[in-house]
Chain A
């Protein structure tokens, strides 16, 4: 009796404790965090719009649009005025600038490390000296670049930056050259455009597998003179994008003594081999950072966040660009959180715990009702909803584009159901189906760009006019391009010389072809549906079978050249037309190598690509890339779909954002936290 009564009481106590703890927590939480709707005053003060833009191709810079520590309509309060918190869905792969090749890593690296040159704020084709004292002296033959290094700059560990550190950084990167990494970008101007990697080309082919000799060859490409305070780069041939590649994170400057102290390479060629092609975890700088930048590395909790702390003795006294920031950063700390689940990111944004958040295309409509201020690219900001609490920057052209690719000689080894029967009989296509230019043109005339952009991108994309995208040197908005024209598509199909075994034309026989995209990418799926619908209206015998594959399987089939018709995208490595025409058109390019263009045409394309990249005269380069764009159009080599536009969502109290498409994007547009501030 007594026992049962005690048990009963025990249950009651436990239950009450559970309930009580929740109630207490709730009460406690309300004390610690701001209540909603309690800060209305500040919100009314900010129906202002941006005070215009700065020069050049400036984006809207809402300098007059600040609202202090509270957002719009008194709904959200900044819970951490001295810290900026960004929530994205990306996880860095490595913090070593020489190793990292993903945007999540690059975003962090950009805040901690610095380069010889930097971009002039939002201008992608203008550079300013950063660790270099001035812009480089370039020899008349375009093969020698001499940099004078700024004096008095210290790394975060207190050691002085020296010309040797600069040269060492480039050597270390090229010799490290991990598999699938970014160092091919630095190797090509020094060792030749056909170079794929340090081990495979510089060591094996150019130095007969003599590693030490190859290492010495690398050291000869970038030399230093501590006395004269200079670093000189010796290119194999003139290289048009040279300045562009020097602003990438792979060209960040590290401290030689510090790297050596981390058990990294000491600069001696006799020990270099063991530092080449490391796995991420074997790399001494995988989780360590020591740069000269405005923020110091504090902590990386894998899967959770990266914390950066302000460098209080940051060296910039004179702004790098007109009106740019000087001295230590305005914001003390930067926290970049990895929040994969959208609902959690959204909730954090609404609670004011996150200042900048990644909002994927499919969730835009959920966030839009909370937008107070909309800043359209290169236009002033406007207040769209006085009750909102967020600011959004829209229609900023990205540096990625998509295309539907035609494979002109499908690999049929061991059978290939991607081309059905493998014959022109209505149930498949022959492997060389797309070798017929009329068919490629017909597919281009059959694609409805307007519907694609309107339905899938909510109008926030533009038609890609060829491999060279808007914003990149050589882009011409008047470039000849294809538009939806079913009649012309029909004419092109009828003009095809393809015949079935019994002599029937393509038009009479029809075809069935598999269109493949990577699993989970609905944009690419819709692209296929639009094409399918359009082709079936042109001729009901033209059938497309839309298939999806997980990324690993898709990658394998694409590289094996087994896909006939597929959708993929490209994000640039450096902001130069070479990085666009090479993958799309070169015989060694990521896509072109598996598309089998006709030999004669491929030869012409390769020659032009080499000529264009080695040309240093900007006007001539523009002409050459124009030629390549035209050849792509005339031969309808691919079906270029869209260049997407990006959005950036931030709390109203975040100031100083500007759009530079080259900054590594993490939560939307790329961010240079040094330029940001919070509050009034």
Chain B
């Protein structure tokens, strides 16, 4: 197991380097003028302006030279300047990732708990009304675009009821958070508020995060629910389940002790990738709820051809995905002793 983990961790930099080379090569397909448009958003006012921008940002240098410069800076821990984030890429990741992580945690827990619970219920009540209701629930959740659902939530619970505002904090709370006496430790407002013993800030942060978290949760419950339901149905039909029943175990014991743990493997697979996906940013929810995280920033960078930011986000996302896969592989071993990692 240990050698497996070490091997996977050692391969990670090579994978990331390959990824960076791929992205860099793709970005070089763009003409220097096209890339200069990041810095000139309207027709240049003077004849020389465009060429001057290209020269200043080194967009006309050979590809290998640009890549070598980028790698050289990377070695020094400098991922470059994010034009769309208006800060160094590393600092942007540091600033935007806590928001994404906080949102991921707030949405992942209900996604898994409620998703698994509903999935099990649906499977146990196969083809009964409860099963039908959860199926409709999941189909609606799966079919409705996140964007539409998010806006709907915003209009009802913010514009009309004024319960859950967008953003990460209210203006008054922002002033407290950025005041000298307040310590930002994790960058996650709910946690930092508790660490600072500021329940008012905690409550304000909760009010802001609930809507985007619920939006992400609802549109994703469907997937978990269906996977759990399907997996549970398979397990419930398995011979060992029949044996358990034949031994006279109560149905609840059959389900909770024999069926459900065995039905969890696909949930771990999907859950792991799903969590990694959430950590890369829930683009739509972050945009609709003005919750500025990695997804919001990455989209903004990609649409503005901000090559430096795109590279930084890609590397970061790649690393997260590799780590998530590793964690999933390790979890397999714990869930099913038959799986051995070598």
Q: Which residues of A contact B (CB under 8 A)?
A: 1, 3-5, 7-8, 11, 14-15, 18, 21-22, 25-26, 28-30, 32-36, 80, 83, 85, 91-93, 102, 178-180, 182, 184, 196-197, 200, 277, 279-281, 299-300, 302-304, 307, 335, 337, 339-341, 343-344, 346-348, 350-353, 551-553, 555-556, 558-559, 568, 570-571, 573, 583, 588, 590-591, 593
Contact = CB atoms under 8 A, between A and B. Distances in A.
A343 B296 contact: no
A1 B257 CA distance: 8
Given A5-B252, A36-B162, A335-B171, A277 B46 contact: no
A573 B46 CA distance: 12
A583 B50 contact: no
Nearest to A582: B45
Interface stretch (B2-10, B134-142, B230-238, B285-293): B285-293
Contacts of B316: none
A83 B114 CA distance: 41
B214 A11 contact: no
A93 B290 CA distance: 20
Nearest to B292: A303
A179 B49 CA distance: 6
Contact of B85 (A15, A28, A303): A303
A350 B53 CA distance: 42
Nearest to A13: B113
B288 A341 contact: yes
A555 B48 contact: no
Contact of A279 (B30, B56, B113, B287): B56
B252 A25 contact: no
A347 B155 contact: yes
A194 B139 CA distance: 65
Interface residues of B, number: 79
B56 A559 contact: no
A85 B174 CA distance: 14
A414 to B, nearest CB: 13
Q: Which of B81, B88, B110 is packed against the most chain A CB atoms within 10 Å?
A: B110
Contacts of A337: 290
Contacts, number: 201
A33 B166 contact: no
Contacts of A8: 252, 256
Contact of A1 (B49, B171, B253, B287): B253
Contacts of B85: 302-303
Contacts of B95: 302
B295 interface: no
Contact of A11 (B53, B55, B117, B172): B117
In the A-B complex, the 9 residue pairs with the closest CB atoms: A4-B256, A552-B34, A179-B52, A29-B163, A302-B86, A552-B37, A347-B159, A556-B33, A350-B159
B49 A341 contact: no
Nearest to B284: A341
Contact of B56 (A85, A179, A348, A351): A179
Contacts of A352: 162
Given A25-B210, A180-B53, A14 B113 contact: yes
A29 B114 contact: no
A346 B155 CA distance: 9
Nearest to B217: A18
Interface in B207-232: 207, 210, 214
A1 B46 CA distance: 80
Contact of B164 (A4, A25, A346): A25
A11 B113 contact: yes
Interface of B: 30-31, 33-37, 39-50, 52-53, 55-57, 81, 83-88, 92, 95, 109-110, 113-114, 116-117, 151, 154-155, 157-167, 171-172, 174-175, 178, 203, 206-207, 210, 214, 250, 252-253, 255-257, 260, 287-290, 292, 296-297, 300, 305
B166 A348 contact: yes
Contacts of B52: 179-180, 197, 200, 277
A552 B30 contact: yes
A666 to B, nearest CB: 14
Contact of B178 (A182, A197, A299): A299
B33 A30 contact: no
A8 B95 CA distance: 39
Contacts of B160: 36, 350
B159 A346 contact: yes
A91 B86 contact: yes
Contacts of B35: 552
B210 A180 contact: no
A30 B163 contact: yes
18 contacts: A11-B116, A15-B113, A83-B171, A179-B52, A180-B44, A182-B45, A184-B46, A196-B46, A197-B52, A281-B88, A339-B166, A341-B288, A344-B154, A347-B166, A352-B162, A570-B43, A573-B45, A590-B43
Contact of B165 (A14, A304, A351): A351
A26 B83 CA distance: 38
A219 to B, nearest CB: 23
A576 to B, nearest CB: 14
B113 A351 contact: no
A343 B114 contact: no
Nearest to A6: B256
Contacts of A35: 162
B210 A556 contact: no
Nearest to A188: B46
Contacts of A184: 45-46
A259 to B, nearest CB: 20
Contacts of A593: 47
Contacts of A307: 174-175
Nearest to B40: A180
Nearest to B254: A4
B114 A18 contact: yes
B81 A15 contact: no
B159 A85 contact: no
A559 B50 contact: yes
B189 to A, nearest CB: 13
Given A200-B48, A343-B288, 9 more contacts: A8-B256, A14-B113, A36-B160, A36-B162, A102-B41, A303-B292, A303-B300, A304-B292, A570-B43
Contacts of A14: 109, 113-114, 117
A21 B210 contact: yes
A551 B37 contact: yes
B271 to A, nearest CB: 15
Contact of B287 (A277, A300, A340): A340
Given A33-B162, A180-B49, A22 B33 contact: no
B86 A303 contact: yes
A351 B159 contact: yes
A266 B214 CA distance: 54
A303 B92 CA distance: 10
A348 B87 CA distance: 27
A18 B165 contact: no
A571 B42 CA distance: 9
A344 B165 CA distance: 10
A120 B119 CA distance: 69
Nearest to A554: B37
